[in-house]
Every structure is written in structure tokens, then in C-alpha cells.
Amino acid sequence: AAAHGRRREKEREEREREREREREGGRAASRKGLGLALRPKPRVRRRARATASTSTMRVVFIRHGESQANASKRLGIRRTSERLRDADLTRTGETQARDLRAYGIEPDLVVVSPLRRAIKTALIGFKEDSSADWICHPGLQEFGGGLPENVARPVGALAKDLGHFTHFERIDFGLLPTPWPGMSASTADHRRGRDGCAAFVEWLRSRHEALVAVVCHHNVIQSLLAGVYWDRIRNAEPILCTFDGAAFRHHTDGAAFFGTDLGLGLQAAPASSSASVRLDCGGGYVAVVRREARALRRELLRREGRKRRKQMQRAAGCALALRRVSDGAAAPLVEGADFSWLRDGDVVELVELQVTATAAATAAEEEEEERGAENATAGAAAGVGEGAGGGGGVAGDVSLLPV
């Protein structure tokens, strides 16, 4: 009996050891399976598409210098005259184009409209020894109204007029179709313009350059930057943007854009709320306050009712007060004001507008009204006044408009 009991105990211990070995084997198998599951999968290297959509492209839009069509009233020429077909630059326009060189913009690619005034602006405004590529894109041709100034001419005619520029021969006209509908006045309409802008954006997505200068026209820039840029599009003044392959974004800080201060100024832009107008200020760019005050005032006038707007358009001057959003510091937005309290990246908002009402418009306002074809709203130059916290005002009947 004792021997039988020892044998039974030995068999029981053997079975326990067997079960323990099975449990250890299961845990080892589980650990192996878990290790396989957690092991990083081999990466498949894919060649990245070297397009503008994979990186942000910097784009500088430039409207051509003053053309003969822009100055037609001063020159005594009807806008419908064939003398203005593919209008040339005036002497003022050539000077404006020459002043572009002072900005020191050195693009990797220059894209021009097929119209003479845009090509000539680019040829004058950029250095002959630049290493940039030059391309003429048909989608940048001006549109609207079927006016002779927006009707293009053959490349041979352009070469005859502009061939004395040594870098004219560098322009690639290969994108212009044959026959080219842009040489017919009947096709110089808004539909062609919209299609052309869409084609240009699609083409720009395929480019690899880091900095692109686009020299074209008012309506083209307005269409491309709709909802992005609200200020007046002036002759031969750079508009800084970035392009991520999907949309353009306007930039006001030239130092951040180019890495150096080009003196391009801050720009006025209405905020998402219709109750205020905000400016994104870059330090050192508030010297062009007079121009921006006029732009802000035009925006406020646009928001007023028609009757009220007509009354305000007859104003002799206005004063606008700025307030920094972060701490409420305020100062009048007038020429020569001390803006040392502003820092790079500060966001300021317009807090009030003071207007002196008079019976007659100033000469500057009349000039603005005459430029209705350029989509400019009438406005007067900024006058001297006190800010929101200054307790002062403007002489005469004052209308105070909080915004």
C-alpha cells in the first residue's frame, strides 16, 4: 500500500510538470505572436511629387503701370478708340515700373500677361541679368467690357514694339494657342476671364519655383484674390501672397515674406465680423498710414446706406483711431503719428471714424470718383484728429461712427 501511494504521488507530480510545460509553451507562443504584431512594417519609399502643392510658393502679384487707357480722360482719348488697342504705358507708367526695382524683388519665375502694358512693366521692373525664367500665360489677359485695350496682338507685333529690351527674347510664348481667341474683342468677356484665371491656377500648381512674380491686370488680380485681398489694386505696387496649391493667402509682413524690409506697408482688410475693420500690423510698416486710412474709410463708406454714403463722400477729411486689441492702447491713425507702441504681429482695430461734413467734395475725392471703372470707391485723404481716448475731435460738424 505504501509503494502504491508513492507511485500515485509520483504520477501526480509528473502530470503537474507536464501541465506547467504546456502553460510555459503557450505563453512563449503568445509572446512570439505579440512580437510579430508589434514589429514595424517595412516602409515603402514613394517618390514625392515635386509640385507647388507639397510646399508653399511665394507669389508677388503686380498690376501693370499706368496705361494710356488708364489716362484716356487726361489724354483726351475715348476708351472705345482703336488707338488704345493693346494700350501702351504712359511715361508715368514707365516710371512706376522702373520704381519696382527699388523693392529688390528677385523672382525665380516671371509670369506675364500677353498684353503689352504688362509685358513692358515686367521688362522695365526686373533686371536684365536676372536668372529668372520668363513665361507668358494667356489666362492672365485682362477681361471685361470688350474694350480695345484688352485685345491682344500677335507676338510679332509685340516683338516689334518691345524687342529693344534685351530680355524680351527670353519670354516663352509657347502657352499661347493657335489660333488665339484673345485677339478678338468679342471674346474679351468675363467668362473668358474666369476660365483663364482657373487655367492659370491649375498651371501654377505644377510649378516648382519658390518665388514667382505675376505681372498682369486689375480684374485678373481681383478675381484670383477674391476674398483674400480687399484693398485697391494700384498700378505697379506688389501684393504679397503665398500659394499652397489650393488657395492664395495675402501677407502684410514683407520682412517675414522676403526676410528683409521692402517697405511694402500694411494693408487694410475687413475682419470676419461686419462690425469692425482690423489690421494685422508688421513692425516698421506703419509709415504708409495715409494710404491705409483712405482704404479703411472707403470700406466704412461701402457699409453705410446709400444716402448716408453720399453725404459722407462730401467730407473734407476724416480721422481714424486705432486700438490694440490685446491691451486697449489707442492712437489716432493720422499721417506722422507715433506708432512706436505697435509691435510686429500686433492686431489693431479701428475704433471710430470722425468726419467733417462740407458742401463740396475735395479734388482728391473727385479724382477718386472718376476712377469708378477701376472699381475704386470715393475717399478723401486722412486728416488730423484725436483718437478714441484723446477727447478731441475735428472742427465743424462731426459724425462719430463706432465700428
Contacts of residues 204-207 at CB distance under 8 Å and 24 or more positions apart, as own/partner, are 204/52, 204/57, 204/59, 204/243, 205/51, 205/52, 205/53, 205/245, 206/51, 206/52, 207/51, 207/52, 207/57, 207/109
Confidence of residue 149 (pLDDT cuts 50, 70, 90): very high
Question: CA-CA distance, 8 to 300, in Å (whole number)?
Answer: 103
Q: Residue 367: which of 379, 358, 357, 359 has the closest Cα?
A: 379
Is the pLDDT confidence value at 395 over 50?
Answer: no
> CB atoms < 10 A from the CB of 85, how many?
17
pLDDT of residue 56: 85
pLDDT computed for residue 398 by the predictor = 28
* Percent of residues in the chain assigned helix, strand, coil, to nearest 5: 40, 20, 45
Share of the chain above pLDDT 90, in %: 35
Cα(321)–Cα(244) distance, rounded to whole angstroms?
A: 35
3-state secondary structure of 387: coil
Question: Cell numbers of 65, please?
Answer: 503701370
Rounded distance, CA 121 to CA 89, Å?
Answer: 8
Length, in residues, of the chain: 403
Mean pLDDT in residue range 50-65: 76
CATH class assigned to 52-251: alpha beta
Residue 309: HSE in the Cβ half-sphere, 13 Å Cα cutoff? 14
How far, in Å, CA of 238 to CA of 216, rounded? 11
63 is in an annotated binding site: yes
Q: What is the 8-class DSSP label of residue 80?
A: T
Reported confidence tier of residue 239, pLDDT bands at 50, 70, 90: very high
Question: Cα 278 vs. chain centroid, distance in angstroms?
Answer: 16
70 annotated binding-site participant: yes
Instruction: Give the torsion sign (CA, 121, 126, 129, 132).
Output: negative
Residues 157-176: what's their mean pLDDT? 95
| In the block, residue with C-alpha cell 522676403 | 258
Looking at residue 91, its pLDDT comes to 94
pLDDT of residue 273: 29
* Per-residue pLDDT, 141: 94
Helix runs in 62-154, H state only: 72-75, 91-99, 116-125
Is 66 labelled a binding residue? yes
Contact between 301 and 401 (Cβ < 8 Å): no
Least confident of 53-62, 81-90, 329-338, 390-399: 390-399
Query: What's the first-to-final CA gap in the chain, in angstroms?
Result: 108
φ/ψ bin of 250: left (φ > 0), alpha (ψ from -120 to 50), beta (otherwise): beta
What are the boundaries of each domain within the chain?
52-251, 269-402
Among the residue ranges 92-101, 191-200, 295-304, 330-339, the one predicted with the least confidence is 330-339
Q: Output 97 or 53, whichever has higher pLDDT.
A: 97
- Whether 251 has a binding-site annotation, put simply, is no
Q: Is 15 annotated as a binding residue?
A: no
> Residue 65 annotated as binding?
yes
| pTM, to two decimals | 0.56
68 marked as part of a ligand binding site: yes
Alpha-carbon distance of 379 to 116, in angstroms, equals 31
Give CA–CA dist 122/30, Å, rounded.
Answer: 71
Contact between 216 and 140 (Cβ < 8 Å): yes
- In angstroms, the CA 180 to CA 113 distance is 14
Whether 349 and 279 have beta carbons less than 8 Å apart is answered as: yes
Residue 324 CB neighbours (<10 A):
17
What's the mean per-residue pLDDT of the chain? 69
Give pLDDT, residue 191.
Answer: 75
Pairing of strands 239-243, 57-63: antiparallel
Q: What angle do CA 118, 123, 129 make, to 5 degrees?
A: 150
